[in-house]
Amino acid sequence: MSEFVVYNIPGSPFGRAVLATLEEKGASYRLSPVAPGTMRGEPHISRHPFGRVPVLEHNGFMLYETQAILRYLDRMLPAPPLTPKDPKAAARMDQAMNVNDWYLFQGVNNIIGFHRVVGPRVMGLTPDETAIAAAMPKAHVVCNELARLLGPQPYFAGDAVTLADLLLAPQLDFLAQTPEWAQLSAGNRNLVDWLDRMNARASLRATTWERVADMANAA
Ligand SMILES: N[C@@H](CCC(=O)N[C@@H](CS)C(=O)NCC(=O)O)C(=O)O
């Protein structure tokens, strides 16, 4: 199995999901850092026509969109399996992954996470408190719904980690770095415990912003 190349920016939660999945699989991979501000120009725009990260390259096969990448990795590298066999559990996994993309990222993390974490850290921006406050009602709905979907199970699709956990954990870990997390997690103890469980995994510890920045510097 030849090496996987991940085009990514340190700090990207979507990129971290790909790296964490490769770590869970014990796969050999290389990070190819994309400099912020260069994603809408060549060469990156030829890899990703929407100018985003991550992009996976495998034996010349280029793939963007994190869910597609995670499913490709799970099919190419079957052990350990990260998709449940049971159709209902697999449907819960798919549902949680779509909640991540459509509701947690869009309108919550791309506002609150951006203004609290990425903007200040990467661009030296001051958080836009009005935008953050406007995103909070949706953020409450999303966090409460994720806690409801998780319920008493250890992971989103049951007893074992799946692609849903690996997609959601980097996003929620981002939100957990903001002061808003105290309100968003209040009453959602199961989500906090799940995030602690995920953050304790070797795959998540190997792919923190700092660790990915180290990989980028070494590339
Ligand atoms: N739907 C895409 C979303 C990827 C995405 O939004 N990535 C962010 C970083 S976490 C990005 O590249 N943002 C750059 C930009 O919007 O300019 C996926 O699933 O891969």
Does one domain contain both 109 and 214? no
Does one domain contain both 54 and 93? no
* Per-residue pLDDT reduced to its tens digit, 149-176: 999 999 999 999 999 999 999 999 999 9
Does one domain contain both 36 and 72? yes
Give yes or no for residue 14 CB within 6 A of ligand 1: yes
**Which residue from 53, 67, 102 has its CB within 8 A of the most atoms of ligand 1, so it is best to mutate?**
53
Does one domain contain both 113 and 144? yes
Query: At 25, is the pLDDT very low, low, confident or very high (cuts 50, 70, 90)?
Result: very high
Counting the structural domains of the chain, the total is 2
Residue 149 CB burial class (10 angstroms; 0-12, 13-18, ≥19): middle
Does one domain contain both 112 and 162? yes
Does one domain contain both 197 and 208? no
Domain of residue 25 covers: 4-81+204-218
Give yes or no for residue 66 CB within 6 A of ligand 1: yes
Give yes or no for residue 53 CB within 6 A of ligand 1: yes
Does one domain contain both 161 and 54? no
Cα dihedral: 169, 171, 177, 181 (round 10): -90
How many angstroms does the Cα of residue 174 sit away from the middle of ligand 1? 14
Q: What is the reported pTM?
A: 0.97
CATH number at residue 25: 3.40.30.10
CATH number at residue 162: 1.20.1050.10
Give yes or no for residue 7 CB within 6 A of ligand 1: no
Does one domain contain both 107 and 194? yes
Structure token digits, residue 113: 């996470």
Does one domain contain both 134 and 93? yes
28 or 36, greater pLDDT: 28
* Per-residue pLDDT reduced to its tens digit, 50-99: 999 999 999 999 999 999 999 999 999 999 999 999 999 999 999 999 99
